Amino acid sequence: MALIEGLLALQQGVKCITLGYGQAGNLAQDIAAIRSLRKLAHHYFAGFGHGDYVLSTVFHQWMGGFPENEAQAYSVIALGAAAAKFAGATKIIAKTPHEASGVPTMEANRAGLQATRQMINMIGDQKPLDTREIDQEVDIIEREVHAVMQKVIFLGGGDIGRGAVLAFESGVVDVPFAPAKINAGRMTPVRDNHGAIRVFDHGSIPLPEDILAFHREKIAERAAVEGRDASFEMVVDDVRAISSSNLIGRPA
């Protein structure tokens, strides 16, 4: 989505491009997402003949349900700040300890910013976080994105705008839980046993078979640990998890 929006903006003459990503919760995967987003953006922007632009990335702290307890909410904010900093995001959209209760006050907004700044200050001089797990997530993300983008470009005959419209109509691009009527809504995500987002149902998204097998294997690992079958119930449990002070929606 971010790459398509960036390409459409560049075609209209925009020179300063900011691509956004919403925190998913697993530290390695969130770091990998921003890093791969930056790399993939340069790849596709250059592929469409664009070179005169300035690219920045924005990391949105957790966009889902928040814990009602303010102390617990600060932990969610701090995790997002750490992920954004280690990922090298240019900007951070900070949340507040009042996310679960309604429109935040001025004081709550300030507190969220201060909590974010404190975390950034504490890890700012530390070495970049590089692990085999992050590298693996980067590789998975890049292969998935290339598969989808190639299909979008093919559908549009090289016209990224037309390709995007046809990709949504066919479900090649599908956003989980999106309310838009044009969105197919068949793709369903679920967390694996370590809290990373995996594909439970890929719908019509053209992912390589070995990538889909990787997702099934990761979901099966969680199902075995929890002693239950992989099902949509896991998806529902995960949606509610962070507001209940967990990352993964484990059964009681």
Mean of the per-residue pLDDT values for the chain?
96
Neighbours of 251 (CB within 10 A): 9
> Tell me: the pLDDT tens digits for 212-247?
999 999 999 999 999 999 999 999 999 999 998 999
Q: Is residue 149 within a helix (H) or strand (E), and if so which, with residue range?
A: helix 132-155
Q: What pTM does this model have?
A: 0.94
**If you average pLDDT over residues 165-171, what whole number do you get?**
97
* Distance in angstroms (rounded) separating the CA atoms of residues 202 and 218: 15
**Domains located in the chain, CATH noted:** 2-123 (no CATH), 174-252 (3.90.970.10)
237's CB contacts (< 8 A; 6+ apart) are 248, 249, 250, 251
Q: Is residue 34 within a helix (H) or strand (E), and if so which, with residue range?
A: helix 27-47
- Residue 93's pLDDT band (cuts 50, 70, 90): very high
Q: Residues 86, 247, 204, 201: is their CA dihedral positive or negative?
A: positive
